[in-house]
Structure 1
Amino acid sequence: MMNYGIPYTMPMHKAGCCSNYGMDFTREALCISLNLIKEAVKDEKSDQMFYDYLMSKAPTKEEKEIIKSIKKDEKKHAKWFKEIYKCYTGIQLKENEDSGDYEKPKSYINGIKKAIFGELKAMEKYRVIRQGIPSRCYRDMILTILTDEMKHAIKYNYILNINPCKCKKRFDVRDSDSSIDRFTGNEMRRIMW
């Protein structure tokens, strides 16, 4: 039976150029991190389809480019997570072949809202992953992933804020006067802010 309370240090022949921070990591924390990495990589295929959907519905070239850059970052993150997993387990993770389905949002804006909360949820998961990884270079990789996820949430929030539909909805909730329809999206944004 494995004692999960014993601090974990990776043998130097497996660590390569990466150093361990010290003796404050346990095998249990590493196992939790590895399971969360496996979970993060598992639905890669459906995530790619979701990004493709958002890009296809984006009303402007700027929004398409933002989503495209986020998709590119997410592919890089999956590659890094697979590398980390393989280093500690010797097993190459593959995307879930059955995860080709995803829940299509009701609208582009609903998809953007879903994406924002997805990024925030991922950040919470990745913090836990980072806590259980003993290797300094892999912890730094995960920190990069975490900051990318923050940037993604901010970029999605930007898309939400430049979209005139969102502004109109805010007015509809606050004011039942239908004369608001005479304003353009830019005019509504000026009024709102």
Structure 2
Amino acid sequence: MYYQPYAIPRPVSVNWSFYRNDDMVLQLIEQSIQGERNDELFYDFLIKLAPTSQEKEIITGIRDDERKHRAMFRALYTQLTGKAPAVTEEASEQLPSSYLAGIETALLGELKAFEKYRTLYLHINPRYRDWIFEIMTDEMKHASYYNWLYAKNK
């Protein structure tokens, strides 16, 4: 079977009693939905501060990935619970005082997100791990880009 990265998983019957950490998994997914939204809004602000079109393009690509991740987490939550997640649309992070400070915040945020998603990967039903793996590898790619942007602008 060929894996399609943007495909929504087909409904399956999950025996949650087999997984001891189902509450933790759902909580991490809810946190991730909000975190991806916060990142999207934060990166919208960074795009406006970016000094070159190349940097704007890089951050725009990362922002678009965050939108994709949020949609994936929302679909995953709905798949696992049978209901849509109840998450706010408002950002809960402060905006940076400068472009370089924003890049530093973004870099550290991407690395923290990877750590959270690794925990999720290890505790989620194995049939959903490809989704989490895709998101994790995107986060590492983003961290690499932000590391480059930070070095370039330091």
Q: What is the identity, as a one-letter code, of the residue corresponding to 1:113?
A: E
Which of 101, 104, 122 is matched with 1:131 structurally?
122
Residue 82 of structure 1 is matched in structure 2 by 74
Identity of aligned residues (%): 42
Which of 92, 96, 102 is matched with 2:93 structurally?
102
CA contact (8 A) 1:82 1:93 kept: yes
Residue 59 of structure 1 is matched in structure 2 by 51
CA contact (8 A) 1:44 1:95 kept: no
Which of 12, 16, 21 is matched with 1:15 structurally?
12
CA contact (8 A) 1:29 1:131 kept: no
Give matches, 1:150-165, under 5 Å.
150-163=140-153
Q: What is the identity, as a one-letter code, of the residue corresponding to 1:134?
A: N
Equivalent position SS for 2:108: helix
Structure 2: 5+ residue stretches without partners? 1-9
Structure 1: 5+ residue stretches without partners? 1-12, 167-193
Separation of aligned partners in 2, 1:33 and 1:131: 10
Q: CA deviation at 1:134?
A: 1.2
Q: What is the identity, as a one-letter code, of the residue corresponding to 1:114?
A: T
Q: TM-score normalised to the size of structure 2? A: 0.84
Q: Which has the larger radius of gyration?
A: 1
Q: TM-score normalised to the size of structure 1? A: 0.68
Q: CA deviation at 1:30?
A: 2.3
CA contact (8 A) 2:40 2:63 kept: yes
Greater relative contact order: 1 or 2 (C-alpha under 8 angstroms, separation 6 or more)?
2
Deviations 1:69-106 (A, max 9, x none): 00111111111111111111111125413x24531112
Which of 35, 40, 57 is matched with 2:32 structurally?
40
Which of 1, 9, 21 is matched with 1:29 structurally?
21
Please tell me the root mean square deviation across aligned C-alpha atoms, in Å.
2.2
Equivalent position SS for 1:15: coil
Deviations 1:43-92 (A, max 9, x none): 44433221111000000001000000001111111111111111111111
Separation of aligned partners in 2, 1:110 and 1:157: 12
Separation of aligned partners in 1, 2:38 and 2:101: 17
